[in-house]
Amino acid sequence: MDADPVAPVTGERPVGVAIVDDHPVVVEGVRAWLATEPRLTVLATGDDPDEVLRAAPAADVVLLDLRLHGRMALDKLAELSAAGRRVVVYSEHTDPQTMLAALDAGAVAFLAKHEGREHCVATVLAAASDRPYVPPALAGAIVGDARPDRPVLSDKEREALLLWFQSMSKASVARRMRISEHTVKQYVDRARIKYTRAGRPAATKAALLARAIEDGLIRPEEIGIYRSQASYDRPTP
């Protein structure tokens, strides 16, 4: 297992996190996980997204349980994402369709509840800086995506996703593919960025894409027709 070193968040202020879950036990558990990381601070918790965000309007990242009071909160997720809220969905529903639907709705990342502390901390830290983080379960969903309008991935990207999904160890994937761990992460993240084009547009997707271009992870022409909602705008070839 690895927790990818994520670049420090801008400024010294720790990342503010809001947790939305209808099981107090889970809230306490996640809070305990995040407490081990000094760069994170939990600002508010609760079972209603609107109330939680009223209590903590400055939250950088929202951890959202996709199933609230017995129903899937996909529309709430889309609403928050469209408003520019960085939402990390975490759920025990790890069927590929649900994960891809969450990405389409604008979630910055999808975390399976069983994936544990390291993935959770790494995902939240990456989300706060608009950078992708792909836990193994999400990698599996992407590599198994059979929808006709799915983004086109390169062979290396697919292989990296597949091996990451299988082994849950980027070091092992790197050894197996005979590339550096950094390159493995690049392949995986690039595949994820291509999914910012799927589904309806959302401010969070635009932010992820803009940051990826800024970081040199991907070029606009690599993801096909791209009309940015961010400041970056240039005609596609």
Partner 1 sequence: MSTETARATTAGPTGTGSTVAGSTAAGPVAVEARQAAAAVASVSDRGARIVVVAIALAWHTAIALPAVLAARADLAAPAVAAAGWLVVAATGVLAGVRLLRGVPLPAWPLAMLLLVVDAAVFAAAGEGQLFTAANWGWGTLGWFFVLVLWGRRVIGLLALLAAHSLIALVAVLGHGATAPADLARYAMYVYGTLSLPVAVFVGGAVIATLARQRAAAAATAHAMAAEREAAERARRDRRERLALVSGTAEKVLAELADGRADPADPDVQRRCVLAAARLRRLIAESDDVPDPLLHELRAAADLAERSGLPIDLVTIGTPPPLPVEVRRRLVDPPTAALAGARDWARLTVVAGPDEVVVSLVAPDRDGPAGSGPPTACDDGGDDGDGDGDGRVELLHEHDGEIRWTQTRWRR
The only residue of 168, 209, 218, 223 in contact with partner 1, by rule CB under 8 A: 168
Per CB under 8 A, which region of 42-50, 160-168, 179-187, 199-207 contacts partner 1?
160-168
CA distance 24 to 68: 12
Vertex 30 angle, CA 28 and 35, to 5°: 90
Site membership for partner 1, residue 137 (CB under 8 A): yes
Per CB under 8 A, the list member of 6, 122, 138, 143 interacting with partner 1 is 143
The least CB distance from residue 136 to partner 1, in Å, is 9
Residue 144 near partner 1 by CB under 8 A: yes
120 vs 137, beta carbon nearer partner 1: 137
Binding to partner 1 by residue 183, rule CB under 8 A? no
Q: C-beta of 77: minimal distance to partner 1 in Å?
A: 22
SS (H, E, C) 3-65: CCCCCCCCCCCCEEEEEECCCHHHHHHHHHHHHCCCCEEEEEEECCHHHHHHHCCCCCEEEEE
> What is the DSSP annotation of 124-187?
HHHHHTT-----HHHHHHHHT---TTPPP--HHHHHHHHHHHHH--HHHHHHHHTS-HHHHHHH
Is residue 162 part of the contact set for partner 1 (CB under 8 A)?
yes
DSSP 110: E
How many residues form the binding site for partner 1 (CB under 8 A)? 18
Which positions from 25 through 84 interact with partner 1, judged by CB under 8 A? none
Say which residue the tokens 């995040």 belong to. Answer: 34
Contact set with partner 1 (CB under 8 A): 94, 96, 137, 140-141, 143-144, 146, 162, 165-169, 171-172, 175-176
